[in-house]
C-alpha cells in the first residue's frame, strides 16, 4: 500500500470515537509496542510470538474475555448504519455483497478457543456466516494501492 492503512483518513480514531460514544469497550490492536502512541485510547501491542493476522487474532482472544467484535483499520467506506448492523450481528463472519467472507469483521463466541497457527479460513471454519450483502461496497477492505488511489480520487 506504500502507506500505513491504520493512519489513513483518521479511520481508527473515528471508529474508536464512534464505538466509545455507543458505550462499547474499545481496544486497539496496534501492532508493535512502538505504535502505541500513534493511537488514542487503549492499545494492546502484539506479543512476540505473533507472526500473522491469525496469530494476532488468537492472541487477542486469549487476552479478552467474552464476545469480541473485530473491526479492521481499512474499511474506509463504513457508514454509521453499516457499523450498527455489524454490532448487531450474531457471533459469526459477515459475508459481503460479492460473497466474500469478511473475517476481520468477525464476532467471536464467548469462550471460543482458536486453534494455533491456522489460516483465517481455518480459524473461523466453525463460525456461522452472516449475510450483510445489503451494505454493498461499505464492507470493502483496501489492500491495493489502486484501490486507495480510486478512493482518494473520488474524495476530490
pLDDT tens digits along 57-75:
999 899 999 999 999 988 8
Q: Which residues contact 129 (CB under 8 A, 6 or more apart)?
A: 92, 93, 94, 95, 101
- pLDDT > 90 fraction of the chain, expressed in percent and rounded: 67
Q: Model-level pTM?
A: 0.87
Polymer length in residues for the chain: 156
Specify the pLDDT at position 156.
Answer: 52
pLDDT tens digits along 96-146:
999 999 999 999 999 999 987 789 999 999 999 999 999 998 998 876 667
Question: 5-154 architecture in CATH?
Answer: Alpha-Beta Complex (3.90)
- Averaged pLDDT score across all residues of the chain: 88
Amino acid at each position: 500500500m506504500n502507506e500505513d492503512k491504520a493512519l489513513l483518513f483518521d479511520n481508527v480514531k473515528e471508529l474508536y470515537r464512534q464505538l466509545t460514544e455507543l458505550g462499547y469497550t474499545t481496544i486497539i490492536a496496534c501492532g508493535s509496542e512502538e505504535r502505541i502512541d500513534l493511537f488514542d485510547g487503549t492499545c494492546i501491542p502484539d506479543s512476540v510470538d505473533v507472526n500473522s493476522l491469525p496469530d494476532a487474532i488468537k492472541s487477542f482472544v486469549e487476552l479478552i474475555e467474552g464476545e469480541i467484535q473485530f473491526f479492521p483499520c481499512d474499511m474506509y467506506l463504513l457508514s454509521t448504519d453499516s457499523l450498527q448492523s455489524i454490532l448487531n450481528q450474531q457471533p459469526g463472519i459477515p459475508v459481503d455483497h460479492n460473497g466474500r467472507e469478511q473475517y476481520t469483521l468477525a464476532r467471536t463466541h464467548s469462550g471460543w478457543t482458536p486453534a494455533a497457527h491456522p489460516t483465517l479460513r481455518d480459524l473461523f471454519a466453525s463460525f456461522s456466516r452472516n449475510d450483510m450483502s445489503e451494505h454493498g461496497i461499505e464492507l470493502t477492505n483496501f489492500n491495493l494501492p489502486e484501490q486507495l488511489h480510486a478512493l482518494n480520487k473520488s474524495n476530490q
